[in-house]
Amino acid sequence: SLEGIEIANIHRRMFKPLRNLSHIYFKKFQYCGYAPHVRSCKPNTDGISSLENLLASIIQRVFVWVVSAITCFGNIFVICMRPYIRSENKLHAISIMSLCCADCLMGIYLFVIGAFDLKYRGEYNKHAQLWMDSIHCQLVGSLAILSTEVSVLLLTYLTLEKYICIVYPFRCLKPRKCRTISILVLIWIIGFAVAFIPLSNKEFFRNYYGTNGVCFPLHSEQSESSGSQIYSVVIFLGVNLAAFIIIVFSYGSMFYSVHQTAITATEIRNHIKKEMILAKRFFFIVFTDALCWIPIFVLKLLSLLQVEIPGTITSWVVIFILPINSALNPLLYTLTTRPFKEMIHQVWYNYRQRRSKRGKSNQRTYGPSFIWVEMWPMHEITPKLTKPVLCTDSSDASVTTQSTRLNSYT
């Protein structure tokens, strides 16, 4: 019985000579991997893995493949479809495709975890410590952090871009191609740096990614080095929390700005209905961000307060909650937008026309043609832009311009 002992320098050679040892009781499940020849080891699970399987629950083993497939398919589909959509804002389309690439990495991460779960099925304890110490686990964990951080930074950038466009329409801050590409490259460089810095110094970070079977450093263990703890806090409660606050504040300000414009601009008809559509779009974007990140912030804060967190919660967060944004971003930013639906309707219309008039070679089909302002609510009726009005002062000009913007967005 070693239940109350924290063994900082634990190693396989400690238990290898004990050939006849049949039962052993450790403080934590991870220690069982250092005595794989022992028939009965307790605790036999940490909520994520068990002695038999990398993913302890059958629900986890099934849904890791389901979530992986949905995430990869949705983002790859958007990447492939983007070139066929005539978008007015090509730079924003590039940003969305970059976001899809980052989100797709999360699907690849879950796919690799599912693959190694299959590989070690029924005998995970024999390979547990080798797996968590392996370069494969380190790279897979780095991939998950890379996807997470790049996605967070891109969402923040896209939000600020729209915030400036709506709230400050006369500041002449329209993004240029060179600046947009430079920002995207910088975001990916920051993401790579954040993900791979823990692999550069083993003495300072120790086994940063190998604290559990899914190789994701969600919360700090008491035995972790101070460097790992500080780094993890800076990333999760520093960078990510700040990004989340910026996103919530920006969308709140955007909706308030549109609300004020709709009240003062008499040119906008049915502005209440359009406001509700905008409110729904804002709500779902902020809601999915909150659903993904608030549980992670809470878990991180509890770990700092030395509250014991069940491993089952960690596994659910990594497999179900963390990929929420990665799976839903294609839906929120592309698949539910009016231009995408118009393109699908036009393709279906062309298909029916060709099928019904196959014999007429001179039958003309019309390609999709529309103005796409990204990520705003879809309307089946194409909006009519308001006519320009001569303004006597800057405030009237702002109202008129924002009226036109609101019509084009909705």
Residue 125 tokens, joined: 């304890």
Query: Facing residues of 41 across strands?
Result: 24
Average pLDDT, the chain: 77
Residues 6 or more apart whose Cβ sits within 8 Å of residue 71: 103, 104, 106, 107, 110, 323, 326, 327
Q: Which residue has the higher pLDDT, 108 or 173?
A: 108
Q: Contacts from 172-177 at CB under 8 Å and sequence distance 24+?
A: 175/91, 176/91, 177/91
94 and 189: one domain?
yes
Domain edge (last residue) among 322, 344, 366: 344
Q: Are residue 181 and residue 216 in the same domain, yes or no?
A: yes
Query: Which pLDDT tens digit goes with each residue over 322-373?
Result: 888 888 887 777 766 666 777 777 777 777 777 777 656 554 545 544 444 4
What are 187-204's pLDDT values in tens digits?
A: 999 999 999 999 988 888
> pLDDT per residue over 127-142, tens digit each?
888 898 899 999 999 9
Query: Which pTM was predicted?
Result: 0.76
Structural domain for 93, as ranges: 58-344
Structure-token pair, residue 395: 């405030």
Burial 378-410 (b: 16+ CB within 10 A, else e): eeeeebeebeeeeeeeeeebbbbbbbbbbbbbb
Rounded to whole angstroms, how far apart are CA atoms 14 and 35?
Answer: 9
DSSP string, 292-323: HHHHHHHHHHHHHTT----HHHHHHIIIIITT
| Cα 371–Cα 372–Cα 373 angle in degrees, nearest 5 | 120
- What's the pLDDT band for 310 if we cut at 50, 70, 90? confident
Q: Is residue 188 part of a domain?
A: yes
195 and 304 fall within a common domain? yes
| pLDDT tens-digit series, residues 177-191 | 888 899 999 999 999
Residues 18 and 153 in one domain: no
- 340 domain-assigned: yes
pLDDT of 392 > 60? The answer is: no
Asked if residue 21 and residue 106 are part of one domain, the reply reads no
- Asked if residue 147 and residue 34 are part of one domain, the reply reads no
Q: Are 22 and 40 in contact (CB under 8 A)?
A: yes
Q: What is the pLDDT of residues 32-54, one digit of tens each?
A: 888 888 888 888 887 788 888 99
**Within this chain, do residues 189 and 278 fall inside the same structural domain, yes or no?**
yes
In this prediction, residue 86 has a pLDDT band, given cuts at 50, 70 and 90, of low
**Is the same domain home to 82 and 210?**
yes
389: confidence class by pLDDT, cuts 50, 70, 90? very low
Q: How many domains does the structure of the chain reveal?
A: 2
- Residue from 379, 333, 380 nearest 82 by CA: 333
CA distances from 327 to 68, 198, 324 (A): 9, 27, 5
Same domain, 94 and 183: yes
Query: Tens digit of pLDDT for each residue in 252-285?
Result: 887 777 767 655 555 544 555 555 565 566 667 7
What SS3 class is residue 23?
Answer: strand
297 CB-side CA count, 13 A: 15
Residue owning tokens 């059958």: 58
pLDDT of residue 264: 57
Q: Quote the Cα angle for 228-229-234, to 5°.
A: 100
Query: Considering only CA atoms, which of 191, 194, 26 is closest in space to residue 125?
Result: 26
CATH number of the domain at 300, please. Answer: 1.20.1070.10
In a shared domain, residues 190 and 226: yes
**Domain stops at, among 344, 359, 374:** 344
Q: Does residue 21 fall inside a structural domain?
A: yes
Q: Which of 368, 382, 289 is nearest to 333 (CA)?
A: 289
DSSP assignments along 148-208, one per residue? HHHHHHHHHHHHHHHHHHHH-TTS--PPPHHHHHHHHHHHHHHHHHHHHGGGT-HHHH-SS
Contact (CB, 8 A) for 48 and 132: no
Same domain as 164, residue 104: yes
| 272 occurs within a structural domain | yes
Task: Kindly state whether residue 3 falls inside one of the protein's structural domains.
Answer: no
Which of 295, 323, 344 is where one domain is finished?
344
Q: Which is more confident, 168 or 401? A: 168
